[in-house]
Structure 1
Amino acid sequence: MSRDRSLLPYRPNVGAVLFAPDGRVLVCRRADLPNAEGAPGGWQLPQGGLDEGEDPRSAVLRELAEEIGTDRAEILAEHPDWLTYDLPPRLVGVALGGRYRGQRQKWFALRFLGTDADIRLDADPHPEFDAWRWVPIEDLPALAVDFKRDIYAELARAFARFARHD
């Protein structure tokens, strides 16, 4: 597999900024990404691949069902741009099946319509996450892995209005 980033495409992807009724955002801990001490780490927002010809709005709800066990959500907004990130050199040719240089993502803000009991990380036979929690949206950039930090900062800025309450 090629490690020359310029020869690899971006993987089409959708992502969800899922807001609880109190305005906090769902983050999930990757089961396969240890932190610096070797313990589980890698907090991220739910996201996943966009199948060829699939509508991104449908895909984001499908990804929620697959990754967190529920699609009890309504779409509030769509980020106007496709956001991209490049994998760090050490992961090019390794992550994402070794076929992509990074991801090209369409992000959505969604309101969670369920209860915490509806979130089931074990709904998939091969769960991607091993823990989840609700956090203030301004915490997103600090929780992200370094190569996704700029995207998370943009999402926190673009979707901040959904974290506010009267």
Structure 2
Amino acid sequence: MTDKNEIINNDKKNYRPNVAAIVLSAKYPHQCEIFIASRTDVENAWQFPQGGIDDGESAKDALFRELEEEIGTREIEIIAEYPQWVSYDFPPAIAKKMHPYDGQIQKYYLVKLKKGAKINIATDVPEFSEYKFVPTKNIYDYITFFKRTVYKQVLKYFKNEGYI
């Protein structure tokens, strides 16, 4: 496990350690559709499920916990893991809300819903107001601007590796 202090204090910026999941529908590999959801707290901001890593928690444990908290299931199979941590900075309006963090540093996982898994975004503390599965080529029609660079990097890697 990477030292959390190493992650947080990357490049003199204070990054929040985080996991993110690119969730493929249970139809994968026959059909490649990716889950995206619209945030409840930022208008028209679509994203992948993601969330902070708690103290003493591994990235994989955080992945399963966050998926259950955000989309109501941990019924997934991990297909692949992005080999590095990737970071992005928050835009100023979001940085104010996320103080003391300047952005997030994330470990990305490509996962597939297990057959019969049910999505439920009406969780205890809903983070999403709606969701959909979209073809990879349509992701950028929805994704919020400040996450696009990281999403492109990660999706390109999984595509080049033959996963999507």
Q: Does the 8 Å contact 2:69/2:124 carry over to 1? A: no
* 2:88/2:150 contact within 8 Å kept: yes
Partner residue, 1:15:
20
Aligned-pair identity (%): 35
What is the DSSP-based 3-state SS (H/G/I as helix, E as strand, rest coil) of the residue aligned with 2:36?
A: strand
Distance 1:53 1:90 in 2: 30
Q: Return 136-145 or 148-157, whichever deviates more.
A: 136-145
What amino acid sits opposite 2:94 in the alignment?
Answer: L
Q: Structure 1 residue aligned with 2:39, among 11, 30, 41?
A: 30
1:99-138 to structure 2, matched below 5 A, reads 99-115=100-116, 118-122=118-122, 124-138=123-137
Query: 1:142, CA displacement in angstroms?
Result: 3.7
Give runs of aligned pairs for residues 46-65 of structure 1, distance below 5 A: 46-65=49-68
User: Aligned with 1:159: secondary structure?
Assistant: helix
The DSSP-based 3-state class of the residue aligned with 1:162 is coil
Q: Post-superposition, which runs of at least 4 consecutive aligned residues in structure 1 deviate over 3 A?
A: none
* TM-score normalised over the length of structure 1: 0.82
8 Å CA contact 2:37, 2:128 repeated in 1: yes
Q: Secondary structure at the match of 2:163?
A: helix
Let me know the Cα RMSD of the aligned residues: 1.7
**Secondary structure, in 3 states, of the residue corresponding to 1:92?**
helix
Structure 2 unaligned spans of 5+: 1-10
Query: Which whole-Å deviations, capped at 9, do the CAs of 1:107-149 have from their partners, x for residues lacking one?
Result: 0000110447x10011x22200011100112333342211111
Equivalent residues, number: 148
Alpha-carbon separation, structure 2, partners of 1:52 and 1:138: 36
Alignment counterpart, residue 45 of structure 2, candidates 42, 47, 52: 42
Gaps spanning 5+ residues in structure 1: where?
A: 1-5, 35-40
What is the CA distance between 1:7 and its match in structure 2? 7.0
Corresponding letter in the other structure for 2:35: L
Alpha-carbon distance between aligned partners in 1 of 2:12 and 2:95, rounded to the nearest angstrom: 11
